[in-house]
Chains A and B, each alone.
Chain A
């Protein structure tokens, strides 16, 4: 499951052991397309990674903090620190391989 969070709830990302945050917006086509892919990925990696969605229009400060210049931006967090980012639509297999590589 992917949890949509507000600016105040972003602390849950920082408290998570491993988290993937999908930065997106309602008007962005590729964001809409990648959303079900992330949802399927969250099932595939259930129990290993926490999944969050941040709307950049609702959370401008967080978007600025992580220098989001293009969406969708997928940032992988480990122990509250951003470790890697992917920009744009990505197929599920590519994302799964990316995250699993970072888990080990």
Chain B
């Protein structure tokens, strides 16, 4: 497998900026995220504090970012990373597609997720709660699982689980009508929390609780601490120094995930710093 110099997770202003600087510094880059770049960029009606643009819509600024990337031949790999493993002298990135990517350095530019984890979710993670259907499905062969899906994109994972497990219950946390195989039981209720009952797991809802063997919580993004095992965070943000270094050697963070204020130009600026720090890290490693 090709091992990239730098893997950048996220295609908001932080990730885009980090990718541009990394490529200018002649590093091979894997830029992971979405062809739409960032929902937070798309949503802004008028941005008045991005130098070079007196007043610009998020849509227009995003198009300029996309143009900048393509003019440099930087492609976006549309895949969601579920785990980043610090292997010592490289990082292994598990993606929800089932693919595993490798890079010598990693830049986290994932933005922050709105909303708190469900009650019991973090306590039970790895003990009957999972974030990755493709990874953990074999654990639940012949068992009953419940999927809490936060977007229609997660229906694919639920369909996959229904092929492996005895029963899948799906709780859509959105308004659209789920499109799922007939064997999947759809419960239109709000998941409120996860607990333990007689050695099994139970999903608390506004209505009847659902007793199950395993719970898959599938969101667009997971928190940074869950994404990178061993990463030091304050709960919401990754702890970084002024060089955007995290506590894990070779792992850097920038943009909203690295702390407030939440601003485009700050995200882009930190992306630049993170890229330069990653370049320094790689160059120092090569010398040793």
Please indicate the chain B residues that have their CB under 8 angstroms from the CB of A90 in the complex.
229-230
Do A89 and B229 contact each other (CB < 8 Å), given the known contacts A29-B94, A29-B135, A69-B128? Answer: yes
Whether B85 is near chain A, meaning CB under 8 Å from some CB there, is yes
User: Chain A: which residue is nearest B84 at the CB level?
Assistant: A89
CB distance from B50 to the nearest CB of A (A): 36
Chain B residues within 8 Å of A60, by CB: none
**Across-interface contacts of B85 in A (CB, < 8 A):** 30, 33-34, 89
Tell me the count of chain B residues lying within 8 A, CB to CB, of chain A.
Answer: 19
Report the separation of the CA atoms of residues A93 and B136 in the bound assembly, to the nearest whole angstrom.
26
Measured as residues with beta carbon below 8 angstroms from the partner, the interface class of chain A is 10 to 19
**B7 CB within 8 Å of chain A:** no
Given A90-B229, A91-B230: A37 in contact with B126 (beta carbons within 8 A): no
Identity of the chain A residue whose Cβ is nearest the Cβ of B249 in the assembled complex: A93
> How far apart are the CA atoms of A84 and B85 in the complex, in Å?
22
When distances are taken between beta carbons in the complex, the residues of chain A under 8 Å from B87 are 33, 36-37
- Across the interface, B83 reaches (CB within 8 A) one of A28, A37, A40, A89, namely A89
A77-104 interface code vs B (CB 8 A; 1 in, 0 out): 0000000000111111110000000000
Whether B128 contacts A30 by the Cβ 8 Å rule is no
Given contacts A69-B128, A70-B126, contact A30 B83 (CB under 8 A): yes
CB-CB contacts of B28-55 with A at 8 A, as 1s and 0s?
0000000000000000000000000000
Q: Least Cβ distance of B116 to chain A in Å? A: 21
| A34–B230 alpha-carbon span in the complex (Å) | 12
Partner of A88, one of B88, B92, B126, B139: B126
A43-89, CB < 8 A from B: 69-70, 87-89
Q: Is the CB of B229 within 8 A of A91?
A: yes
| Residues of B with C-beta under 8 A to A87 | 126-127
Chain A proximity mask over B72-91: 1 for CB below 8 Å, otherwise 0 = 00000000000101111000
List chain B residues, Cβ under 8 A from A88. Answer: 126, 229
Q: How far is the CA of A28 from the CA of B94 in the complex (A)?
A: 13
B residues in contact with A94, CB < 8 Å? 230
A-facing mask of B133-154, CB < 8 A → 1, else 0?
Answer: 0011011000000000000000
Are the CB atoms of A27 and B138 closer together than 8 Å? Answer: yes
Known: A87-B126, A88-B126. A37 touches B230 (CB 8 A): no
B64 located at the interface, meaning its Cβ lies under 8 Å from any Cβ of chain A in the complex: no
Closest A residue to B86 by beta carbon equals: A91
Closest to A71 in B: B126
Candidate in A28, A91, A93 with the most chain B CB atoms within 10 angstroms: A91
Contact A40 B127 (CB under 8 A): no
Contacts of A70 in B (CB 8 A): 126-128
The distance in angstroms between the C-alpha atoms of A70 and B249, with both chains bound, is 27
- Residues of A contacting B94 with CB < 8 Å? 29, 33
Q: For the complex, what is the distance from the CA of A28 to the CA of B83, rounded to whole Å? A: 13
Instruction: Please report the C-alpha to C-alpha distance between residue A74 and residue B85 in the assembled complex, in whole angstroms.
Output: 16
- The distance in angstroms between the C-alpha atoms of A64 and B21, with both chains bound, is 51
Cα(A54)–Cα(B136), bound, Å: 19
CB under 8 Å from chain B, chain A span 5-43 = 27-30, 33-34, 36-37, 40
How long is the Cα–Cα vector from A94 to B246 in the complex, in angstroms? Answer: 13
For residue A64, give the distance in angstroms from its CB to the closest CB of chain B: 12
Q: 15 extra interchain contacts, Cβ-Cβ under 8 A, other than A30-B229, A33-B87?
A: A27-B138, A29-B94, A29-B135, A29-B136, A33-B83, A33-B94, A69-B127, A70-B128, A88-B126, A91-B88, A92-B86, A92-B88, A93-B230, A93-B249, A94-B230
Q: What would 11 A/B residue contacts be, using CB atoms closer than 8 Å?
A: A27-B139, A30-B85, A33-B85, A33-B94, A37-B87, A69-B126, A89-B83, A89-B229, A90-B230, A91-B88, A92-B86
